[in-house]
Amino acid sequence: MQLNEQQQSQFDELGYVYLPDVFSATEVALLRDEAHQIFATERPEVVREMDEKTARTAFAAQNYNEAYRRLGRHPRLLGPVMQLLDGNVYMHQFKINAKAAFNGAIWQWHQDYGTWARDDLMPEARAMNIALFLEDVTEFNGALMFIPRSHKEGTLAAGHDVKTTSYPLWTIDDDTISRLVKDGGIVSPKGPAGSVILFHSNLVHGSPSNMSPYDRTIVYLSLCHVDNHIRRFKRAEWIAHRDFTPLEPLADDCLLELAEQPAAARG
């Protein structure tokens, strides 16, 4: 899968592009079922909310789940990122963010590259996110919010917030957010399960808590150009990966093939 000229221009100008209905209902159902099984396990990669019960995010699922191993090499995700980053990529981070009904907490305003630079010594912002909706994303269940064009500001000053949620984050102060929003506004791409968003690693974004009775699960592949790999290894390997091998795309039907197998045979 490749982006057209209009989509590439939107990404360059606004810092993101939304692509509806990239994955089928069958593919999404497989991934959603596997995600909820992962959230129910007790392993260090599954981070809980402050209630210590509700799953907040599951890291590195591509290393211990076959469906997510295949998703991490899916051509519909790798293709556009390799196109935008102009070369081979490796998986810097992989996470399934739960944003559970009623109990999914906020993700504060931040830039992902800010964390990757400060914590992992990633040299440049030659990395980006591609996100896949596993449920319909609406105005009610904690949709992502972007500040368009904020990626053009470079890497902004940030403070390390270790108190607001169960996961520490380099967050941007209110005055800076107010200035950015005055210039660029706020958008919140919403749409059906199976839709995809690509966004720049310096795009300022966040999401509110989920007060609704509807889950909002999104898978994020954080992909980095192989020449731009991290230089510091202080975070756990399942948070900031250390395998810089270029990812090779699988066949386009790799998830459909798995969905046809009995659940017990999926590995």
Give the start-to-end residue ranges of the domains of the chain.
5-259
Say what the pTM is.
Answer: 0.94
In the chain, alpha helices (H): 5-14, 25-39, 66-71, 75-85, 112-120, 174-184, 254-259
- List the chain pLDDT tens, one digit each, 267 residues: 899 999 999 999 999 999 999 999 999 999 999 999 999 999 999 999 889 899 889 999 999 999 999 999 999 999 999 999 999 999 999 999 998 999 988 888 999 999 999 999 999 999 999 999 999 999 999 999 999 999 999 999 988 878 877 778 899 999 999 999 999 999 999 999 999 999 999 999 999 999 999 999 999 999 999 999 999 999 999 999 999 999 999 999 999 999 988 776 666
Q: Which CATH number among 3.40.50.1370, 2.60.120.620, 1.10.10.10, 3.40.50.300 corresponds to the domain 5-259?
A: 2.60.120.620
Nearest alpha-carbon partner for 209 in 104, 139, 109: 104
The tokens for 228 are 């731009």
